Structure 1
Amino acid sequence: MVAVRRQTAVSPQTWVNAVVPACVRQYGAAELVGGILQGDFEVIVAHSALAEAGFPVPPKDGDRVVRNPTIVDGEFVPGGGVTLTVKHPGDRGGAIGYWMQARGGGVG
């Protein structure tokens, strides 16, 4: 599970959060081409999972993905997990899903 987050307002800070199943993996050395850097992750999320969770699809550059999020009663709790920033939302196959490139490692 990951939490996908989008900031919708700056003052006061407001976020849309969706807790969804995802496949997360770090890119290998042979994949470090173009804009992919060492330490970047690939995050695969189904379009239907994001839409059902109420997330405004599609994901955008700058959205956040929290790996190993703290979840209480099915809701994301800020402050836990590892936050990655989406660098490329990677739309694939229309409404099938998103193969996102994400970067970072800060606390959620």
Structure 2
Amino acid sequence: MRAVGVVERLNLADMTAPGVMAREFGLNLGQLASRRYIHTQRISRQIYEALDNSGFPVFDGLLYPSRNNFPATCIALFYRARAKVVVVDDLPLVQHVDWPAFVNQYRIGVAKV
């Protein structure tokens, strides 16, 4: 797991707002939850290609609901956002404060290898 610091404001397309996926992109829950990423990749491409009036990219990435850990929120950053974040530290996942609850909730078995 990476601890990341934001050094400059990130502009994220917020895909977590109620109804945005259906209203703005015409997707249903089945398409959003599918393991075939054709629909979500299309949306990501549209967001990536969105330009402002000056021809500059509008978004650095997107904020979206987790498919695997709903209602948690995920962030995907486009490569162009790399100068706006720094890696602070690489940490073992087991050191994350929410790890014990996550393992318990999803009944994950963890063994040393």
Global fold match (TM > 0.5)? no
Higher-helix-fraction structure: 2
> TM-score scaled to structure 2, two decimals?
0.27
> TM-score scaled to structure 1, two decimals?
0.28
